């Protein structure tokens, strides 16, 4: 997530005479740059490459690098809250046409009630800084009527404030968000999780004194006006005062709430990955002092991955019926976690990251039973430029797709729709690869000491809603594409 080798140096792509009328400093710099064109790779203006998926709508997100989308059914509207990475050296503060001001990348708020015509409502600026050092990458949204102590007439946005802290906004009127809580002083933040029905939040933070930049702060945010901290949590060896080897830092987590009593933590991004399965009740109510014994107390299982694969997203899929094992005396229903790594380097300059399917039915002994990956040769992806490999999956547990189809953000291979009804044999059933835009941020590698740069789509994150729409956002300033399944893939989801 923080590799400087992935930094984009420009912000646009020269495309015909129309470029001459664009008055951006980065455009001028781009015109002077030597960008390599790859035969067969999508260019500005090309149609998308797609199978069993089609484009419904598009928003350019003010040409901001995008990370986490949250799609919230808010009253009779659907609102997309999009977290952003920081800017670039050429354009550290993109223009917000709504305010007429240049603003550091933060959070975009889009009305997607009509997915064919998304309406940009507001931008909440984030912190100064480029790439991973700025912006406001994470978003989570809860209604006050669901939170135990929330105002039933309000809706709340939880987001990170760059790497410095966390914030809560009143977004009841999404066009006019209002800050109601702010905390900072952290060394880093990232992909937090908020249980709307209980208010418990697991905040990816970096507390000064801890030996890693990302660990967990557990908060009670059942009343968004008055968050209460419960404890700090991490792996033994990360806590203050520890010595010896430092375990790989946290990336994010997903909770199944009090009913399942499990929280799934993913450590590592593209290396030294680990899945940690935690007893939620013991985590919240157990001893708080971060001793090695107390940190291990809630743990019920772990999977240590290979040194060159991480655990960016850990997505639980419990109680899946297995048709193949229906007549077996045991094992006809099993629990799974899908682990998605993040590709960090451009043009395949590191081990390939992919999606792994882990049988966690016996929690003390998780086992990888399969993987999913896109063959490089299917699109000459290592040569297209930018990253090629997985980054993240959708996280919605709405019944329309949950435990049936997973969507994987695959950088220059777009988004991939994967049939996961049999996690032992996941298979691709569709894909959508947008074409870059004139605002695409170039991606470079070093060749003989000099930058070699290319333009490529960089599908960064994906989310779905309960209507069956798929939302993909782009790391290289290529906006948000709203998609839907077609053909046989649509039938799997039970969509008309």
Q: Sign of the C-alpha dihedral, residues 115, 119, 121, 124?
A: positive
CA neighbours within 13 Å on the CB side: how many for 188?
18
Q: What integer pLDDT is reported at residue 496 of this predicted model?
A: 79
Q: What integer pLDDT is reported at residue 42 of this predicted model?
A: 87
Strand order in the sheet with 262-267: 250-255, 262-267, 274-279, 299-304
Q: What integer pLDDT is reported at residue 34 of this predicted model?
A: 67
Instruction: For residue 406, give the H/E element and its range.
Output: strand 405-411
CA angle 146-150-156, nearest 5°? Answer: 80
Mean pLDDT by 10 residues, the chain (496 residues): 37 33 37 69 92 98 97 98 94 96 98 98 95 93 98 98 96 98 95 98 97 98 98 98 96 98 96 96 98 98 96 97 95 97 97 97 98 97 97 97 98 98 98 96 93 96 98 97 97 92
Q: What integer pLDDT is reported at residue 23 of this predicted model?
A: 36
> How do beta strands 333-340 and 77-84 pair?
unpaired
Beta bridge partners of 371: 356
Nearest alpha-carbon partner for 344 in 311, 307, 387: 387
Cα distances (Å, whole numbers) of residue 133 to 4, 224, 350, 387: 11, 26, 23, 20
Residue 47: how many other CB atoms lie within 10 Å: 9
Residues in the chain: 496
Nearest alpha-carbon partner for 321 in 421, 231, 171: 421
Question: pTM here?
Answer: 0.92
Q: What integer pLDDT is reported at residue 293 of this predicted model?
A: 98
Name every residue whose Cβ is closer than 8 Å to that of residue 328 and which is 6 or more positions away in sequence. Answer: none
């Amino acid at each position: 997530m923080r590799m400087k080798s992935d930094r984009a140096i420009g912000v646009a792509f020269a495309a015909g005479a129309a470029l001459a009328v664009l008055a951006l400093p980065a455009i001028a710099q781009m015109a002077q740059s030597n960008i390599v064109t790859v035969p067969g790779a999508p260019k500005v203006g090309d149609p998308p490459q797609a199978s069993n998926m089609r484009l419904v709508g598009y928003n350019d997100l003010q040409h901001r690098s995008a990370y986490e989308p949250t799609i919230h059914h808010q009253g009779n509207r659907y609102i997309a809250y999009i977290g952003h990475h920081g800017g670039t050296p050429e354009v550290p503060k993109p223009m917000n046409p709504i305010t007429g001001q240049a603003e550091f990348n933060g959070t975009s708020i889009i009305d997607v009630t009509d997915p064919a015509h998304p309406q940009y409502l507001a931008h909440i600026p984030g912190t100064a800084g480029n790439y991973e050092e700025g912006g406001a990458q994470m978003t989570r949204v809860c209604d006050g009527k669901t939170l135990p102590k929330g105002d039933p007439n309000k809706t709340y946005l939880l987001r990170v404030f760059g790497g410095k802290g966390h914030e809560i906004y009143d977004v009841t009127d999404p066009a006019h968000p209002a800050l109601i809580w702010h905390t900072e002083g952290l060394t880093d933040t990232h992909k937090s999780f908020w249980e709307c029905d209980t208010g418990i939040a697991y905040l990816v933070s970096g507390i000064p004194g801890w030996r890693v930049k990302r660990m967990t702060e557990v908060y009670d945010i059942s009343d968004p006006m008055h968050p209460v901290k419960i404890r700090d949590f991490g792996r033994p060896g990360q806590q203050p005062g520890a010595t010896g080897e430092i375990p790989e830092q946290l990336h994010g987590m997903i909770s199944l709430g009090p009913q399942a009593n499990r929280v799934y933590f993913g450590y590592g991004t593209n290396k030294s990955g680990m899945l940690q399965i935690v007893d939620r009740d013991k985590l919240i109510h157990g001893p708080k002092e971060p001793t090695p014994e107390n940190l291990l107390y809630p743990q019920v299982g772990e999977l240590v991955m290979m040194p060159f694969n991480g655990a960016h997203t850990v997505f639980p899929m419990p109680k899946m019926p297995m048709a193949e094992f229906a007549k077996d005396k045991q094992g006809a229903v099993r629990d799974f976690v899908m682990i998605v790594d993040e590709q960090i380097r451009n043009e395949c300059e590191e081990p390939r990251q992919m999606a792994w399917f882990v049988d966690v039915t016996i929690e003390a002994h998780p086992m990888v039973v399969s993987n999913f990956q896109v063959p490089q040769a299917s699109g000459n992806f290592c040569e297209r430029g930018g990253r090629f490999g997985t980054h993240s999956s959708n996280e919605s547990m709405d019944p329309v797709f949950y435990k049936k189809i997973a969507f994987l953000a695959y950088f220059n291979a777009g988004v991939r729709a994967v049939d996961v009804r049999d996690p032992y044999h996941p298979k691709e059933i569709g894909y959508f690869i947008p074409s870059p835009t004139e605002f695409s941020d170039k991606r470079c590698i070093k060749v003989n000491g000099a930058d070699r740069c290319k333009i490529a789509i960089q599908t960064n994150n994906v989310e779905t809603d309960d209507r069956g729409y798929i939302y993909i956002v782009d790391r290289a300033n290529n906006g948000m594409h709203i998609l839907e399944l077609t053909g046989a893939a649509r039938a799997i989801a039970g969509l008309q």
